[in-house]
């Protein structure tokens, strides 16, 4: 239990879990845009609000600047005459109102950089050396937003339009500058409220996204859990049916591959069961004969010695048969082993064929079968001598066994630059066409009783085929019932290790 939780936690931390990946992707995809959006909205608002504020104040200052010029404020600011005093008071009140309204300070500066009016009343009469003012006097407009210290500074030229020429080339003369700095506190306040509100929305969004990601990551990975469950059911042995999880193309592919594997395993299992049944049957038959023979001897009291002798000979031949089956089975099992211990060496195939035929000729002679050997060229190939001997012996022996009296067996050897061909043809009983595909099966015999009579186990061709395949070769057969058969083996001259 702990190991499972620990395993899942480890997988989650290493991001190997699909569920965690989906969760993380949805969360990131949902939350990051909302954070970026909040930043963009707040920043955008700030820029917009500052520009708005500047143009609003500039407009009002422009009105004041017209009043200033109309009342000759710049010239008469020192005059004590009642008429000027009154008009000055009006303009001062206007300036005062602007500075109060925007929590700022307005300074009127004339062209000689002297401060004529400061709404703070600190710099009246002083000379101001400021880059912005000088640039404004030159006709450039400078606005500056100091976010850190929380103010906006702007310069507004006071333009005497009467100096404008008629062609419109000159718009007027800059006779002074209004240097205004206003607080950005109201903008900041609005921004903070905006930020607070969007933060709440963002937090809500994160909660919703976490929930959404959690649900989706579970729902989207469910089919994979179903695949695992279905496979586990099969593994536990509760079911051996083909499974089906068609939710995604991916799960369908996994399940398809698994079903194919299951099918292959079933075929394998069936053939294993069949093989075991066949082996038991084959091994039981000689034993049963031995028992019958021994029992009948035991049942007869005072049985003559000749009868004993005769029965004992039969018993020995049954034991020989049993031993032959076991030898063949062992040979077959050895071939079936995946780690095949082939003893590859360069071998003269002509010599090997001659040797095998020499060994088999006595059997052929017994049945009056003539064995001929035709070699087209000397063949030297990289093969396993023991297995090659098995291949050749089995094929030639079969051709002798399943032949007619006074028949013939022809062995041919040929080679091209890549393969050598070993062909055995005979004038034997032949194999019916519909049986041809079965002759390589273990324990398969065309004529069971005849085959047993002549000592066949039904394993010879299965062993031969395995040995040929181990050499990466091929075996083919053509046969006409009652006329004869022809087996052809093709094996590469040089062994190709896999």
Tell me the closest approach of the beta carbon of residue 235 to ligand ADP, in angstroms: 37
Longest dimension (CA), the chain: 173
CB of 458 or CB of 473, closer to ligand ADP: 458
Distance CA 180, CA 143 (A): 10
From the list 205-213, 261-269, 282-290, 442-450, the region that binds ligand ADP by CB under 6 A is 442-450
User: With the CA atoms of 212, 216, 219 and 225 taken in that order, what torsion angle do they form, in degrees rounded to the nearest 10?
Assistant: -130
Buried b (16+ CB within 10 A) or exposed e, 445-467: bbeeeebbeeebbbbbbbbbbbb
Q: Are 98 and 137 in contact (CB under 8 A)?
A: no
CB of 460 or CB of 473, closer to ligand ADP: 460
Tell me the closest approach of the beta carbon of residue 330 to ligand ADP, in angstroms: 15
Can residue 398 be called a binding residue for ligand ADP (CB under 6 A)?
yes
Distance CA 310, CA 293 (A): 10
From the list 199-207, 233-241, 414-422, 439-447, the region that binds ligand ADP by CB under 6 A is 439-447
Count of residues making up the chain = 498
**∠ Cα 77 82 83 (to 5°):** 75
Assign residue 482 a region (left: φ > 0; alpha: ψ between -120 and 50; beta: otherwise): left
Can residue 451 be called a binding residue for ligand ADP (CB under 6 A)?
yes
The label of the residue with tokens 């003269």 reads: 348
Tell me the closest approach of the beta carbon of residue 305 to ligand ADP, in angstroms: 35
Q: Count CB neighbours of 128 within 10 A.
A: 16
Tell me the closest approach of the beta carbon of residue 313 to ligand ADP, in angstroms: 22
Can residue 439 be called a binding residue for ligand ADP (CB under 6 A)?
yes
Tell me the closest approach of the beta carbon of residue 248 to ligand ADP, in angstroms: 49
Can residue 399 be called a binding residue for ligand ADP (CB under 6 A)?
yes
Can residue 425 be called a binding residue for ligand ADP (CB under 6 A)?
no
Q: Are 393 and 356 in contact (CB under 8 A)?
A: yes
Can residue 461 be called a binding residue for ligand ADP (CB under 6 A)?
yes
Tell me the closest approach of the beta carbon of residue 314 to ligand ADP, in angstroms: 20
Can residue 445 be called a binding residue for ligand ADP (CB under 6 A)?
yes
Which member of 456, 475, 489, 490 binds ligand ADP (CB under 6 A)? 456
Can residue 431 be called a binding residue for ligand ADP (CB under 6 A)?
yes
- Of 134, 140, 147, the closest CA to residue 188 belongs to 147
Buried b (16+ CB within 10 A) or exposed e, 472-484: ebebebebeeeeb
Both tokens of 272, joined, read 């294993």
Can residue 427 be called a binding residue for ligand ADP (CB under 6 A)?
no
Which member of 22, 429, 468, 475 binds ligand ADP (CB under 6 A)? 429
Can residue 444 be called a binding residue for ligand ADP (CB under 6 A)?
yes
Can residue 447 be called a binding residue for ligand ADP (CB under 6 A)?
yes
- Which backbone phi and psi does 155 adopt, to 5 degrees? -120, 135
Which member of 457, 471, 489, 490 binds ligand ADP (CB under 6 A)? 457
Tell me the closest approach of the beta carbon of residue 462 to ligand ADP, in angstroms: 6
Can residue 151 be called a binding residue for ligand ADP (CB under 6 A)?
no
Which member of 230, 422, 426, 467 binds ligand ADP (CB under 6 A)? 426
Which member of 460, 489, 490, 491 binds ligand ADP (CB under 6 A)? 460
- Of 474, 458, 466, the closest CA to residue 333 belongs to 466
Can residue 428 be called a binding residue for ligand ADP (CB under 6 A)?
yes
Distance CA 489, CA 487 (A): 7
Tell me the closest approach of the beta carbon of residue 312 to ligand ADP, in angstroms: 25
Can residue 422 be called a binding residue for ligand ADP (CB under 6 A)?
no
Task: Count the residues of the shown chain that bind ligand ADP, applying the rule CB under 6 A.
Answer: 23
Can residue 69 be called a binding residue for ligand ADP (CB under 6 A)?
no
Tell me the closest approach of the beta carbon of residue 13 to ligand ADP, in angstroms: 60
Q: Count CB neighbours of 121 within 10 A.
A: 8
CB of 177 or CB of 459, closer to ligand ADP: 459
Can residue 402 be called a binding residue for ligand ADP (CB under 6 A)?
yes
Which member of 145, 458, 489, 490 binds ligand ADP (CB under 6 A)? 458
> Residue 270, Cα to own-chain centre: how many angstroms?
34
CB of 176 or CB of 460, closer to ligand ADP: 460
Q: How far is CA 322 from CA 141, 292, 293, 327, in A?
A: 116, 15, 15, 9
Q: Are 353 and 409 in contact (CB under 8 A)?
A: no
Strands (E), 96-170: 104-110, 115-118, 143-146, 151-160
CB of 286 or CB of 458, closer to ligand ADP: 458
Tell me the closest approach of the beta carbon of residue 451 to ligand ADP, in angstroms: 4
Distance CA 478, CA 491 (A): 18
Q: How far is CA 417 from CA 61, 162, 379, 445, 494, in A?
A: 105, 112, 10, 36, 10
Distance CA 144, CA 369 (A): 119
Q: What residues line the site for ligand ADP (CB under 6 A)? A: 394, 398-399, 402, 426, 428-431, 439, 444-447, 451, 456-462, 485
């Amino acid at each position: 239990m702990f190991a499972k939780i620990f395993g899942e936690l480890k997988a989650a931390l290493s991001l190997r879990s699909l569920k965690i990946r989906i969760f993380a992707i949805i969360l990131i995809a949902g939350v990051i845009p909302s954070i970026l959006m909040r930043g963009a909205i707040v920043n955008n608002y700030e820029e917009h609000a500052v520009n708005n504020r500047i143009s609003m104040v500039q407009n009002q200052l422009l009105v004041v600047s017209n009043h200033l010029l109309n009342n000759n404020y710049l010239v008469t600011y020192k005059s004590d005459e009642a008429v000027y005093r009154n008009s000055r008071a009006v303009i001062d009140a206007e300036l005062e109102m602007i500075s109060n309204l925007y929590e700022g300070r307005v300074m009127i500066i004339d062209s000689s950089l002297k401060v004529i009016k400061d709404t703070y009343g600190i710099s009246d009469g002083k000379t101001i050396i400021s880059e912005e003012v000088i640039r404004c006097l030159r006709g450039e407009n400078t606005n500056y937003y100091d976010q850190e210290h929380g103010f906006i500074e702007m310069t507004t030229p006071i333009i005497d339009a009467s100096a404008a020429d008629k062609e419109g080339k000159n718009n007027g003369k800059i006779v002074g500058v209004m240097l205004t700095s206003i607080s950005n506190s109201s903008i900041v306040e609005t921004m903070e409220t905006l930020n607070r509100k969007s933060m709440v929305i963002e937090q809500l969004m994160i909660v919703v996204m976490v929930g959404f990601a959690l649900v989706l990551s579970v729902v989207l990975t469910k089919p994979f859990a179903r695949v695992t469950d279905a496979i586990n059911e099969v593994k536990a042995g509760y079911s051996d049916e083909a499974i089906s999880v068609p939710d995604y193309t991916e799960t369908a592919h996994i399940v398809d591959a698994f079903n194919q594997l299951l099918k292959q395993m079933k075929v394998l299992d069936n053939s294993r069961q069949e093989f075991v049944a066949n082996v038991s049957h084959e091994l039981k038959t000689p034993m049963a004969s031995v028992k019958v023979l021994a029992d009948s001897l035991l049942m007869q009291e005072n049985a003559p010695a000749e009868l004993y002798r005769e029965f004992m000979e039969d018993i020995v031949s049954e034991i020989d048969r049993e031993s032959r089956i076991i030898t063949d089975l062992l040979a077959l099992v050895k071939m079936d082993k995946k780690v095949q211990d082939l003893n590859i060496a360069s071998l003269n195939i002509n010599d090997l064929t001659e040797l095998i035929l020499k060994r088999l000729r006595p059997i052929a002679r017994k049945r009056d079968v003539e064995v001929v050997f035709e070699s087209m060229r000397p063949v030297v190939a990289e093969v396993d001598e023991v297995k090659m001997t098995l291949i050749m012996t089995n094929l030639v022996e079969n051709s002798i066994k399943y032949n007619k009296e006074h028949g013939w067996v022809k062995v041919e050897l040929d080679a091209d630059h890549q393969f050598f061909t070993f062909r055995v043809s005979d004038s034997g009983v032949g194999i019916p066409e519909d049986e041809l595909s079965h002759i390589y099966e273990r324990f398969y015999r065309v004529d069971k009783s005849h085959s047993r009579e002549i000592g066949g186990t039904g394993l010879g061709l299965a062993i031969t085929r395995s040995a040929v395949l181990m050499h990466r070769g091929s075996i083919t057969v053509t046969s006409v019932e009652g006329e004869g058969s022809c087996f052809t083996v093709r094996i590469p001259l040089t062994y190709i290790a896999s």
